[in-house]
Structure 1
Amino acid sequence: MKKNNLIIAILLLLNLSYAQNNFQKIDVIYELNYKISKQDSTDIRTEDFLLSVDNGVSIFNSINFRIGDSITKNSKNLADIYKIPKTKFTNTIEKNRNNSLMTYYQKVGTDRFKYIDTLPTFEWKLINDEKKIGEYICKKAITNFAGRNYVAWYSLDFPVFDGPFKFYGLPGLIFQIYDTSNDYNFNLKNIKTPINQSVFDKNSYKKLTKDDFFRWVNKYKNNPELLLKNSPIQLSEEDMKRVKIKYLEKSTYENNPIELTD
């Protein structure tokens, strides 16, 4: 009996090892549906994101941002600027589970900065419940993070202990995760093994301390005219005032961030 149990244990370990090696590199596309304003619950917007996992290190950012960033870097024609898709998300999150560090990258205007922090800790509670998402049986877990309570559904068929945004640490890939107010809802759209792994240019970002990083972000929030400091578009003082008023009105309306607390 003991011998049979040992054989079963060895087979389970071999299967787990194969599965982990089989999914060392994977691209996952998520669709995010989110409410941008606390005042208007009917204003629900949608954007696709790419999670690229490579041996315990993942990069997560907006697909529109990736496209726009590529156009900006490679374009030699001013007309190509009009091809840049709109995105509210110009940030990138790198999670490194090998050293428990997270690097947060942000582009605002023509400036790019980053800071390094420890990976956030998630206290997941695994729930004895399951549902089918596509062809896969997913299991339920709950947690709270940055002022929101979340429900997650993950699949043991994909031993990729990662997910969208800053989420990670479940026994399988997160297929869906949403907060209980349904302000932010990530849904998996596609999984594939990358043929040509897209390269994220980390070297174009200047490293700051976390405190200096947020001082920089707040500086742009309070002085939106800085967004145009290196722009080929030259505005009159009167036009600049109108741009600032419109920007501040937009910022006041878009007041429902995914993280409610630091």
Structure 2
Amino acid sequence: MRYIFLLLVTSVNFLYAQEKAIDSLKIQCEYWLNYQNDSTNIYSKDSEEFLLLIGKNKSLFLSTNKYKRDSIKNSYIKEGNSVAILDLSKFPKTAFPYRIVKNYSNNELLFYNDISAKLSVHYVEHPNLTWKISNENDKIANIDCGVAYTNYGGRQYKAWYAKDIPLSEGPYKFSGLPGLIIKIEDTKGFYKFELISFKNLSKRHKTIELENRQINSKNVTKKEYLNAKKITLII
């Protein structure tokens, strides 16, 4: 029995510890999200910080708390410790455990999430956002911005993009504008992302990484994923 337990621990460690570089890291953006948990309750508001890691061919978007917890966990395992005894209770959790990878070469968006402790899944999406670029101009934190509008997920969004930062990127699933999205919010005020920092890390030779459990996760449809999430919430 002891040998079986050791084998299980080793297998779990192997599953969690293995990371793979999916691209070199060029730009790191930090966004602050203000959101309303319950659309019927204006007092159910909260906030969280996110990272957008931009490479040459791909980008990764995830919660900063998720990134920190994963980094602590993987460092712990690489030192030869067992993930089974790792206590992360003192570290902040995230309300958004997903990871989003945008692949520039084929305009694919891969949405990764864990259905349970043992099951990680992903679905592929092609948002193909249709942007209406307006004649409006604005300035946010001394950044000259253009303004554009789009619809996604049944909501209308207004976005401010930097005219002098020619990166067709943004938080969450948003991209496709002629400049980096500095701020984006839906017209009803349920979600608002705002850029809080921008760093050029191209000279630091860092990489954007995903764990093997995400890379090898089960490919499902978006509908299957949403149905599975409903079931786990009920359970």
Answer whether TM exceeds 0.5 for this pair.
Answer: yes
Identity percentage over the alignment? 32
Q: Which stretch has the larger CA shift, 201-210 or 139-148? A: 201-210
Give the number of the structure with larger relative contact order, counting CA–CA contacts within 8 Å between residues 6 or more apart: 2
Residue 206 of structure 2: aligned partner: 197
TM-score scaled by structure 2?
A: 0.78
Q: More strand by proportion, 1 or 2?
A: 2
1:51 aligns with 2:52: yes
Q: Which stretch has the larger CA shift, 208-217 or 139-148? A: 208-217
TM-score scaled by structure 1?
A: 0.70
Q: Specify which of 135, 140, 148 is matched with residue 147 of structure 2.
A: 140
Q: Specify which of 207, 210, 220 is matched with residue 209 of structure 1.
A: 220
Determine if contact 2:122/2:219 at 8 Å carries over to the other structure: yes
Change over 3 Å in CA distance of 1:174–1:109 after alignment to 2: same
What RMSD in Å do the two structures reach over aligned CA positions?
Answer: 2.0
What aligned pairs does 1:97-176 form with structure 2 within 5 A after superposition? 97-176=104-183
Shift of 1:42: 2.0
Question: Structure 2, unaligned stretches of length 5 or more?
Answer: 1-24
Residue 7 of structure 1: aligned partner: none
Shift of 1:72: 3.2
Residue 218 of structure 1: aligned partner: 230
Residue 103 of structure 2: aligned partner: 96
SS of 2:189 mapped into structure 1: coil
Question: Structure 1, unaligned stretches of length 5 or more?
Answer: 1-23, 224-262
The amino acid that maps onto 1:35 is: Q
The amino acid that maps onto 1:114 is: V
Q: More helix by proportion, 1 or 2?
A: 1
Tell me which structure has the larger Cα radius of gyration.
Answer: 1
SS of 1:83 mapped into structure 2: coil
The total of aligned residue pairs comes to: 200
Query: C-alpha deviations, 1:145-188, integer Å up to 9, x for none?
Result: 10101000001211110100000000000000000011100000
Shift of 1:83: 2.6
Quick one: distance in 2 between partners of 1:208 and 1:64? 25
The amino acid that maps onto 2:218 is: K
Residue 42 of structure 2: aligned partner: 41
